Structure 1
Amino acid sequence: MEVSIFGRKDMQEILEMKEVIEGVKAVYKLKAEEETAVWPLVSYDFEEPAGVMDIKSGYIRGNINLHGAKMLNTFWGNDNVNTPIFNGLLMVFDSNTGVPLGMMDASYVTCMRTGAAGAIGVEVLARTDSRKLFILGAGKQASFQIAATLILMPGIEKVYIADALSYENAVNFADRMPEVLRKDFKILNREYVDFEAIEDMAAGVGDSDVIITITPSRSPVIKKEWLKPGTHLSCVGADMKGKVEIDPEIFTNAKIYADDKKQCMEVGEMELAVKKGIITEKKVVGEVGAVIAGLIPGRETKDEITVFDATGVALLDLVTAKIAIDLAKEKGLGRKAEI
């Protein structure tokens, strides 16, 4: 039996953001139509050396018919020993037969599908005339959020970059971004987009139409009073217990959407707001896939504050893995192994 094997470099050559976006949208819609299963999240915090591990798994029915699991590890000290901080493996199986289809590096898959997810939240819930984007976080994942958002929201003209720990890091990131878009994502003809590192986060947030948060923060950074009417927030960084990036009071007068409602209430951005009694389950309008499927409304007025809580589900990894397998056949990349 042959199984496709893809390393990190393979995935970088194979995957294309536009295809990943379409795959993620399709899975969100199938989830809303009850054609998927998200299995319980397993996570563990390592104390010495400091790190975190999570296992996400699930099943997609419909015309995709896949199941599988991803184990992802983040060990921050790896940066000091010339080893990637972010590592993992993804296994995907054919749900008609249980036969394994592929095993691959999970880190790049995660970056691509997470970028797609945050941007889809923007496309579905932000004002269509949005022009200014604020990115909280200048780490590796931030470039994927920007790339996907520019694909789906070509009207964006200004991108503020903020790093709560290092303004210098934000400056370096903003300077590199045009070249990253060209080289890593093949996004051309975006000379009109201005990338600016910003130290005064209140000013940057208040001037922006869209906020994407992508940090490992465990205390709120974005404050309620900074937001202007009509702002959309895609909160992507909070995906485990204790992580939080925005003031929980923001939820009091916002329309709230999730990628997976149960998971978001337990380990997502809304976890703290739920624990404090600021919101209950009834306050959550629904899942973003239901908006895509036309089952529930999204934004209804230009002044609404909307929040998309995206904890990430294995379903997105699985569809991205299948896209990689199909594109690899077209491009003649990757390798096969007998098992």
Structure 2
Amino acid sequence: MNKINIINAKETEKLLSYEKVIETIEEVYTQKANDRTVVFPLVFHEFDPGVADMDIKSGWLKDSKIFGLKLVSWYGDNVEKGLPALMGTVLICDAETGAPKGILDGAYITGIRTGAAGAIGTKYLARKNSENLLLVGAGHVASFMIPETLIAMPGIKTVRIYDPIDIKFAESLIAKIEANHKGIKFEAVTDIAKATGLSDVIITVTPSKTPLIKKEWVKPGTHFSCIGADMSGKEELDPEISRGARIYVDDLPQNVNVGEIEIPIKNGIITKEDVVGEIGEVIIGRIQGRISEDDITIFDATGTALLDLLTGELAISEAEKQGVGTVVEL
């Protein structure tokens, strides 16, 4: 009989540290750059357009000897039923036997791996002396993005947060996290133009379909980690920012269709050939990251199942060591 470990959200949170997840996501990008991963075709279906949908992302990490999938559903009416609108489940399988190894809650894994992705883009592409971080968007992922970026960029001294909906969300996020980051100045802002001009690093985590940051606000040497654009039509930056910037992505075929670079390419501002390469290629030294202190750098991260799978595998490994989870025989 095959045994499988079922790990709930609270257990997953205790098993995963920011530091280990950052290392894990770097490993995913490294394997991908070395052509040791496969991303399978996305499955998406709207049960009721604008009300209920689901998607299945899946993949295979050859060196880690796992494959699996993440199933995410969004039911907008769930709030009225006392249920979360967004639900996710991650399934990890042994690539040598095909046997399932673990089932995990997907919400926490999605948040922590996304925060790590943005932090890694900043680590490898931002100026090393960067001190000022602007986070655009104060939702679920933002609570991971800040601590993981501060780990990756220990020189950051000031964190400004702008939320396009209401400053109260930024203020609430600061109240939640600032006690854990002594010595860091936090500020909720309403003037995004001014905050942009003060920032060395800007991370965007919104579902916006209209640009939030204009090119004329951006100072030389700024780095952007663009996380929000993960489906066609989304954009957080003025497309003109991409003109002349050094652009890096996480999965070029996917980024061209659903990432921050989708609209600049469709509008003829840049071409696919203007993309320097994928972030994993920077990590392994195949291509160069920032060349000068004045470069505008952009990391367009759309996310793949590979990130969820290796993060889930990390949780399963830690659970085995600590005796955590519910092991059942199928």
TM-score, length-normalised on structure 2? 0.96
| Residue 272, structure 1, aligned to residue 273, structure 2 | no
The alpha carbon displacement at 1:47 in A equals: 4.8
The alpha carbon displacement at 1:27 in A equals: 1.1
Matches within 5 A, 1:260-339: 260-339=251-330
The alpha carbon displacement at 1:225 in A equals: 1.1
What's the counterpart of residue 139 of structure 1? 139
What's the counterpart of residue 19 of structure 2? 18
What's the counterpart of residue 205 of structure 1? 196
| Residue 116, structure 1, aligned to residue 116, structure 2 | yes
Does structure 2 retain, via aligned residues, the 8 Å contact 1:157–1:192? yes
The alpha carbon displacement at 1:135 in A equals: 0.4
The alpha carbon displacement at 1:246 in A equals: 1.1
- Structure 1 residues 76 and 199, CA gap change in structure 2 (3 angstroms): farther
The alpha carbon displacement at 1:321 in A equals: 0.7
| Residue 57, structure 1, aligned to residue 58, structure 2 | yes
* Deviation readout 1:46-75 (Å, 9 max, x if unpaired): 65663453221111112x111111111234
- Structure 1 residues 262 and 161, CA gap change in structure 2 (3 angstroms): same
Q: What is the aligned length?
A: 329
The alpha carbon displacement at 1:85 in A equals: 2.9
Matches within 5 A, 1:180-259: 182=180, 190-259=181-250
The alpha carbon displacement at 1:86 in A equals: 2.4
- CA distance in 1 between counterparts of 2:312 and 2:198 reads 37
- CA distance in 2 between counterparts of 1:124 and 1:274 reads 24
Does structure 2 retain, via aligned residues, the 8 Å contact 1:175–1:195? no
* Deviation readout 1:252-294 (Å, 9 max, x if unpaired): 1110000001100111111111111111110000000000010
Q: Secondary structure at the match of 1:23?
A: helix
TM-score, length-normalised on structure 1? 0.94
Does structure 2 retain, via aligned residues, the 8 Å contact 1:211–1:231? yes
The alpha carbon displacement at 1:313 in A equals: 0.8
Q: Secondary structure at the match of 1:222?
A: coil
The alpha carbon displacement at 1:80 in A equals: 4.2
- CA distance in 2 between counterparts of 1:47 and 1:215 reads 23
* Deviation readout 1:119-177 (Å, 9 max, x if unpaired): 00000100000001000101111010101101111111111111111112222222222
Between stretches 44-53 and 259-268, larger displacement belongs to 44-53
- Structure 1 residues 17 and 33, CA gap change in structure 2 (3 angstroms): same
The amino acid that maps onto 2:56 is I
- CA distance in 2 between counterparts of 1:36 and 1:43 reads 21
Q: Secondary structure at the match of 2:161?
A: strand
Does structure 2 retain, via aligned residues, the 8 Å contact 1:49–1:77? no
What's the counterpart of residue 78 of structure 1? 78
